[in-house]
Amino acid sequence: MADGEYAAAKTSVWWDIENCHVPRTCDPHLIAQNISSALAAVGYRGPVSISAFGDSNNITPTVLQALSSTGIALNHVPSGKRSDRESRSRDASDKRILVDMLFWAVDNPPPANYLLISGDRDFSNALHQLRLRRYNILLAQPPNVSQALVAAAKSVWNWKDLVAGGKPMHESPYVNKSAGGTSPNFILPYICFGNMFIQDQDDKEV
């Protein structure tokens, strides 16, 4: 359940639509309403804004129109190509989400809530940085969860449950892991935005 000052605070939803697609069985007209309902069910009753990021060319016009008509902000990010898919290079959509998330923090001091919809572990450092600055972190993921992301979040939904307006998982596979900081495997170089940090696209210190 939402804690004290966060219950009435605004919630900003950041949807990596490349990583968490619209389920085929889901009515896209209901996604915004269902996400808001799922948040309200666990005590988050403040204003909710939803931003989706991805290559709109990979989404059908019908779905795009449904999402846009229900208040979801669609951010077209052309698909980038990776020369080394095993590298830690973040694709264009991830980089855009990270930059926008951290700039949002500049204009929206805590208490405030972030809900990230993604299964990409590259977001873990940014989430931990935000949590250390007193932002409340929520997460929705596809079934193959990332331990590093889960460790930063207060509540974790399965993506298909959230999009249906369901409850968060009562217990994550990592519920007994410490949520204080990242493991050495996830300590990556950063770009600085004021007091906030993200990893550089090419893993080079800037």
Among 91-100, 118-127, 129-138, 169-178, which is the least confidently predicted range?
A: 169-178
Of 55 and 190, the one with more pLDDT: 55
Q: What is the mean pLDDT of the chain?
A: 82
User: What confidence score (pLDDT) does residue 144 get?
Assistant: 75
User: What confidence score (pLDDT) does residue 9 get?
Assistant: 98
What mean pLDDT comes out for the span 157-170?
Answer: 93
User: What confidence score (pLDDT) does residue 111 get?
Assistant: 98
Who's near 67: CB < 8 A, 6+ residues apart?
A: 22, 28, 31, 32, 52, 74
User: What confidence score (pLDDT) does residue 81 get?
Assistant: 57
What pTM did the predictor assign? 0.81
What mean pLDDT comes out for the span 111-127?
Answer: 95
Alpha-carbon dihedral angle through residues 140, 90, 146, 105, given to the nearest 10 degrees: -50
Percent of the chain with pLDDT over 90: 66
For residue 154, the one-letter residue type is K
Categorize the per-residue pLDDT at 1 as very low, low, confident or very high, splitting at 50, 70 and 90. confident
**Rounded to 5 degrees, what angle do the CA atoms 98, 154, 27 make?**
70
What domains sit in the chain, N to C, each tagged with a CATH number? 4-198 (3.40.50.1010)
Where is 102: in which H helix or E strand? helix 92-107
Among 11-20, 41-50, 113-122, 183-192, which is the least confidently predicted range?
A: 183-192
The DSSP string of 80-95 is: P--S-TTS-PPPHHHH
Question: Is the pLDDT at 72 greater than 50, yes or no?
Answer: yes
Tell me whether strands 191-193 and 196-198 are parallel, antiparallel or unpaired. antiparallel
Tens of pLDDT along 13-27? 999 998 999 999 999
Tens of pLDDT along 164-185? 999 998 544 443 333 333 333 3
User: What confidence score (pLDDT) does residue 178 get?
Assistant: 35
Tens of pLDDT along 83-106? 543 333 347 889 999 999 999 999
